Amino acid sequence: MEVKQRAVLIVNTKSRRGRQWYTSVVETLSKCSNLEILEAHALKDPAEVVRRVKAAVDNEIPLIIVGGGDGTLSSASNFIMGSKSILGVLPLGTGNQFARDLGIVADVETACSVISEGKQVDVDISFVGDSCFLNVATVGLTTLIANEMTNEPKRLFGRFAYAFALAKALCKVRPFNVTLETAEGIHTFDTMQVVIGNGRYHVGSCPLSPDASITDGKQVVYALMGTSRWELLRYASRLPFGKQGDLDTVMSISVSGGKLKASPIQKVTVDGEAKLKTPFTFGIHPGGLRVMVPKDFQGK
């Protein structure tokens, strides 16, 4: 007789597809013969989502299935990291960068199949200050973009909402000075964008660098050292290929942590949500999060 995996389902209904797909997710998972869904929660309060995840970890539930965007998954991972529980990913947000890193398609049937029939893998998880993150922590332009985004535009326009937010952010972004300290040295420069990446992808399907990975135990840090709109456009044209680091105005390094200061003080966006301000320390927990991935997952 097949032993069923005990699981809890927690869905953030404020995510783009959370409310729309919740019923289908419950029905699909209930048909998986190797899963026993002990509880299913449809929650619109992010604080309640976190509380339910923490309770599941405290109760040593083997599989915690979380549905939502990258911010929801990032918050949940703060508690699942280093525990006895495994994270099951339901990509119900707009960007779904973490799911892309894992090779999980934003489709109910496919994502549920990975949860029930995939394999377990330990992936990297990073941190800034006291907050863990799965994708990127950014300072500058992308923080302004995040400030322009609200749940309603994301729900109505999906990825197109980013285009409107980008246009507004480009009008507001101003240069600032950064001091970046890592094991590789100290760098001081004026910039309009600094990115600290945990996995492979950011900004849709754009790689952080040609060889970035979510299982290599390293972070990719890059910064646009130019301060003109023209330099921003040159940088943006290289993003789809992960080639921004080839520009002489872009610094790109692979690190395991460091410190970042900015003048004037800047807000920091962590997996799409503004959570803290500069200065901050950052680092990585190699293989710190166990997650379900497709059987053909190779680490990139």
State whether 175 and 226 are in the same domain. Answer: yes
State whether 145 and 91 are in the same domain. Answer: no
Q: Which of 64, 89, 117 is the last residue of a domain?
A: 117
State whether 186 and 261 are in the same domain. Answer: yes
State whether 143 and 111 are in the same domain. Answer: no
Check if the beta carbon of residue 121 is closer than 8 Å to that of residue 148. no
For the beta carbon of residue 130, count every other beta carbon within 10 angstroms. Answer: 10
* CATH value at residue 239: 2.60.200.40
Report if residue 142 sits inside a domain: yes
The pLDDT, as a whole number, for residue 282 is: 97
For the beta carbon of residue 55, count every other beta carbon within 10 angstroms. Answer: 15
Give the tokens for residue 97: 């960068």
Alpha-carbon span 212 to 199, nearest angstrom: 7
Alpha-carbon span 17 to 93, nearest angstrom: 6
State whether 78 and 138 are in the same domain. Answer: no
CA-CA-CA-CA torsion sign (193, 200, 125, 158): positive
Query: Which helix (DSSP H) or strand (DSSP E) does residue 221 occupy?
Result: strand 219-224
CA distances from 23 to 3, 9, 20, 41, 194 (A): 25, 12, 8, 11, 39
State whether 41 and 99 are in the same domain. Answer: yes
Check if the beta carbon of residue 64 is closer than 8 Å to that of residue 76. yes
State whether 73 and 183 are in the same domain. Answer: no
Which residues are registered as beta bridge partners of 109?
none
State whether 68 and 208 are in the same domain. Answer: no
Alpha-carbon span 155 to 38, nearest angstrom: 29
Report if residue 298 sits inside a domain: no
Which residues are registered as beta bridge partners of 16?
none
* Burial letters 93-122, b for 16+ CB under 10 A, else e: bbbbbbbbbbbbebebeebbbbbbebeebe
**Structural domain count, the chain:** 2
* CATH value at residue 13: 3.40.50.10330
Give the tokens for residue 134: 């799965």
Report if residue 123 sits inside a domain: no
Report if residue 145 sits inside a domain: yes
The pLDDT, as a whole number, for residue 166 is: 63
State whether 198 and 225 are in the same domain. Answer: yes
Q: Helix crossing, 18-30 with 108-117: angle to 10°?
A: 40
Helices (H), the chain: 18-30, 46-58, 70-80, 97-102, 108-117, 141-148, 151-157, 160-172, 229-238
DSSP type of residue 3: P
Report if residue 122 sits inside a domain: no
Alpha-carbon span 220 to 252, nearest angstrom: 7
pLDDT (tens place) for every residue of the chain, 300 residues total: 567 899 999 999 988 787 889 999 999 999 998 999 999 999 999 999 999 999 999 999 999 999 999 989 999 999 999 999 999 999 998 878 899 999 999 999 999 999 999 999 999 999 999 889 999 999 987 776 666 655 555 555 555 555 666 667 666 778 899 999 999 899 999 998 899 999 888 766 777 888 889 999 999 998 988 777 777 777 777 766 667 777 788 888 999 999 999 999 999 989 878 779 999 999 999 999 999 999 999 876
Whole domain around residue 28: which residue ranges?
A: 5-117
Alpha-carbon span 59 to 40, nearest angstrom: 15
State whether 164 and 272 are in the same domain. Answer: yes
Report if residue 184 sits inside a domain: yes
Check if the beta carbon of residue 115 is closer than 8 Å to that of residue 87. no
Phi-psi region of 287 (alpha: psi -120 to 50; beta: other; left: phi over 0): left
State whether 22 and 113 are in the same domain. Answer: yes
* Burial letters 211-241, b for 16+ CB under 10 A, else e: ebbbbbebbbbbbbbbbeeebbebbbeebee
State whether 39 and 174 are in the same domain. Answer: no
